Each structure stands twice: as C-alpha cells, then as structure tokens.
Chains A and B, each alone.
Chain A
Amino acid sequence: DAGVIQSPRHEVTEMGQEVTLRCKPISGHNSLFWYRQTMMRGLELLIYFNNNVPIDDSGMPEDRFSAKMPNASFSTLKIQPSEPRDSAVYFCASSRRGVNTEAFFGQGTRLTVV
C-alpha cells in the first residue's frame, strides 16, 4: 500500500487566497484525521471523520477552515481566505477500527502564507 497520500507537498500562497489541501487515506481505513503542526502549538487535531462523516471539528480554528470527505478515498481541507498565521505543516492521517489500530500519517503539506 502506498500509505496516506497528501498533495501538494508544499504550498506558498498570498494572504487572502483560497488554499485546498488534499488527502487520500489508506484503502480500507475508515477514520481520517487532519492535524496541524506548528512550533508554538505542536500537533493539534483539527477535525476527524468516521466513515466519511465529520465526528469532531472542535479543533477547526475558525470559519475560514472547512473540511470535506465526499467518499472513503478522498478528503479536502480548505482555508478561505488564508492568513499568515495559518502557515504550518498540515498532516492527514488514517486508521482502521480495531484493537491494535494506530493512525498512519501522510507526508504532510507545508503551507506558507505570505
């Protein structure tokens, strides 16, 4: 399996622009997570889905952030409009329910908003 695939790997955008991050989870996994990593705040959970349904979006910082999972193999995280403080590495992770399950992380998208 190719693992969790995220795109793009790097994104540089101007303040005010819309940014869309994409994620393809591991096939057969039914939970998907979006995390953000910054030096100041560490790793924070933004939102997670079970069976394509958003379960907890309490970590989404503002209404500027939205996430969708239209099917089991694809999810997007959108920021509109973007701001410099959104600069971070955004990770997508997926997992499968089970006793020994663990979350597998994608390579991340490094977002820079200038």
Chain B
Amino acid sequence: ELKVEQNPLFLSMQEGKNYTIYCNYSTTSDRLYWYRQDPGKSLESLFVLLSNGAVKQEGRLMASLDTKARLSTLHITAAVHDLSATYFCAVTLNAGGTSYGKLTFGQGTILTVHP
C-alpha cells in the first residue's frame, strides 16, 4: 500500500523567512504533485515533478524530487502572508497502467505566515 507522509503538519512562519516542507512516500512512483488548498476552496495544482532530480520554481515556491530517497521538498523563500494555505503532496503509481492518475495524498501541511 502506498503511503505518503508530510512534515511538518503545521507550520507557522514569519514573513520574510524561509522554510521547507517535506514529503516522503513509501514505494516507487512515476510522478509527484504539489497542490495548494485555501480554506473552503478547491485544490490548485502547483507543480508536477516527473523525474529524479526535477526542480520547478514558481515565485517564492520551489519543488524538487529525489526518487531514490522517495522524497520531495517544497521550499518557501521569503514567505508572505498570501502563501498561507494548506499544501498537499500527492503521488501516483503505474503511469502506464490502469491506475494512472490515481493520486494518494499526504496529510497536508497547514502553513500560516505572520506579519
């Protein structure tokens, strides 16, 4: 059974600081996703990471993937209040098979950025 674990689950940051959210998964995966969810809202796709060593950046967020360690990180640079949200990582298996697209999610990291 595929398990996905994030840490920390709660993160309180000051504006301007840097921090990293970690996502570990238990079995070999084809791809890893990061999503953002604002309170009461849907999930917004942030990044899709497809291969070992993949790194993607958008604004103050940067995501990376180490498939050998089964680890992805989401790094936040110089946090601002607008980044306050819940961040989920999700993993799929067997891109070539019928389970393609079947996402298993981590627990989510609730990020709060304080002035």
Contacts and interface: CB of A to CB of B under 8 A. Distances in A.
Interface of A: 31, 33, 42-43, 45, 48, 50, 55-56, 91, 93, 95, 97, 99-108
B99 A100 contact: no
Interface residues of B, number: 22
Contacts of A97: 100-101
Given A104-B45, A107-B41, A42 B108 contact: yes
Interface string B72-115: 00000000000000001010000000111111111110000000
B6 to A, nearest CB: 10
B102 A45 contact: yes
A101 B33 CA distance: 10
A43 B88 contact: yes
Given A33-B101, A91-B43, A97-B100, 17 more contacts: A33-B103, A42-B108, A45-B103, A48-B101, A50-B100, A55-B98, A56-B98, A56-B99, A95-B101, A99-B50, A100-B50, A101-B101, A102-B33, A103-B33, A103-B103, A104-B45, A106-B42
